[in-house]
């Protein structure tokens, strides 16, 4: 087994362990009726349901974080360092983890409060919750490049003016003009390289990892960006949001039916009871896992199509293949994972499959 495959096998095994721990934790919380106990404790302070939801979520969430932190440390810091992907000091990594946890907690609380408000106000909460999640997704897409990225990276305009003009011209030709090209200091943390086009409208900007700028040729950088532009030209962002909306609709509707069916054993007099948060987490989490393969199947098809766009737009198949090879090496990509694993868990096609399609040059996937 090569080094990349070994790394991904370990990560997959640790991910499975983390999933088992999370399920066991929620099952234990349900078994000891922690939700009712925590809600009762919150009631001693206030009858406000929104505060009670926040209290139950905070305690259950903190417990899960503490329980899984050693695993997160191994997966996120120790193992990537052992395999040469990460060189960020532990202290800096912990700071990033704290910032990510804080952002996740804020977003999670907004979602929970919104869902519980709907649960308490209408039997059609599952329908309105779908629209609520869609609005949050649109907002997150708009503010991500402006407010979130600077929390984790130092950003600066691309200093190479010739490359900057070349990339902006490429975006203009593709019909997806960007406000500017920025470089983030990925090399401060890791050797991995990538590029992206984030935001939309006046927040759309090209973002390059500094590792891409220093390690790749201008032709290769242009090819990598052309792939990302392909997603915008094909409106993959909107396709993804549409798919997410359908999945959210089905998930919330199914969750409603399941939660109603479980009421006799959950001890909940109403679905909007904050004491039922662990039940809600188990049901939504389980349904969400079932939807992952569908989302990944669609994502892989979109990646193949964006590959085709990159080749047609740059007319430089060799540069794009070379860029994929180099990205695979830097990012320690598993070139050909087991097919079942790829189908169920991977949002991108296996590297060898992508390159095979590109080098054949006649696949219908590139049409």
- Tens digit of pLDDT for each residue in 153-180? 999 999 999 999 999 999 999 988 998 9
Among the residues of the chain, which ranges form H helices?
3-31, 34-43, 49-73, 79-82, 90-121, 125-143, 149-152, 161-173, 210-215, 218-233, 236-266, 277-314, 317-330, 339-345, 351-360
Q: Report pLDDT for 140.
A: 86
Of 245, 251, 241, the C-alpha closest to 140 is 241
What single-letter DSSP state applies at residue 147?
I
Q: Residue 190, SS3?
A: strand
Which DSSP helix (H) or strand (E) runs through 321?
helix 317-330
Is residue 358 within 8 A of residue 317, CB to CB? The reply is: yes
With tokens 């994929």, the residue in question is 324
With tokens 């080094």, the residue in question is 3
Give the whole-angstrom CA distance, residue 208 versus residue 30: 45
Give the whole-angstrom CA distance, residue 211 versus residue 325: 15
Q: What is the DSSP string of 119-188?
A: HHH-TTHHHHHHHHHHHHHHHHHHHIIIIIHHHHS-EEE-S-HHHHHHHHHHHHHTT---S-EEEE-GGG
Give the whole-angstrom CA distance, residue 146 versus residue 322: 31
Q: What is the pLDDT of residues 288-306, one digit of tens each?
A: 999 999 999 999 999 999 9
Q: Report pLDDT for 94.
A: 97
pLDDT less than 50: residues of the chain: 362-367
Report the sign of the C-alpha dihedral through residues 46, 52, 58, 61, in that order. Answer: positive
Of 98, 100, 106, 178, the C-alpha closest to 136 is 106
Q: Residue 271, SS3?
A: coil
Reported residue count of the chain is 367
Q: Report pLDDT for 362.
A: 42
């Amino acid at each position: 087994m090569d080094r990349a495959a070994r790394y991904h096998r370990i990560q997959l095994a640790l991910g499975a362990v983390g999933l088992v721990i999370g399920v066991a934790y929620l099952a234990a919380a349900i078994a000891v009726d922690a939700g009712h106990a925590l809600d009762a404790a919150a009631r001693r302070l206030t009858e406000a349901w929104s505060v009670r939801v926040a209290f139950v979520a905070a305690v259950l969430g903190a417990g899960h974080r503490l329980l899984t932190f050693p695993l997160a440390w191994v997966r996120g810091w120790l193992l990537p360092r052992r395999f040469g992907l990460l060189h960020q000091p532990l202290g800096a990594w912990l700071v990033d983890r704290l910032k990510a946890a804080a952002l996740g907690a804020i977003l999670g609380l907004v979602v929970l409060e919104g869902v519980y408000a709907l649960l308490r106000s209408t039997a059609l909460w599952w329908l309105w919750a779908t629209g609520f999640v869609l609005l949050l997704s649109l907002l997150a897409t708009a503010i991500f490049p402006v407010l979130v990225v600077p929390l984790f990276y130092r950003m600066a305009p691309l200093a190479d003016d010739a490359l900057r003009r070349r990339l902006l011209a490429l975006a203009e030709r593709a019909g997806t003009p960007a406000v500017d090209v920025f470089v983030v200091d990925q090399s401060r943390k890791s050797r991995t390289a990538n590029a992206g086009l984030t935001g939309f409208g006046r927040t759309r900007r090209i973002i390059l990892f500094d590792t891409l700028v220093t390690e790749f040729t201008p032709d290769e950088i242009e090819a990598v960006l052309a792939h990302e532009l392909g997603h915008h030209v094909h409106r993959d962002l909107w396709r993804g949001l549409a798919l997410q909306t359908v999945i959210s609709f089905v998930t919330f509707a199914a969750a409603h039916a399941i939660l109603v069916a479980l009421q006799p054993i959950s001890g909940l007099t109403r679905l909007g009871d904050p004491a039922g948060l662990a039940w809600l987490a188990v049901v939504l989490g389980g349904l969400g896992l079932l939807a992952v393969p569908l989302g990944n199947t669609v994502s892989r098809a979109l990646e193949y199509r964006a590959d085709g766009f990159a080749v047609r737009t740059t007319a430089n198949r060799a540069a794009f293949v070379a860029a994929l090879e180099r990205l695979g090496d830097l990012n320690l990509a598993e070139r050909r994972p087991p097919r079942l694993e790829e189908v169920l868990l991977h949002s991108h096609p296996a590297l060898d499959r992508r390159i095979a399609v590109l080098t054949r040059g006649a696949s219908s996937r590139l049409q």
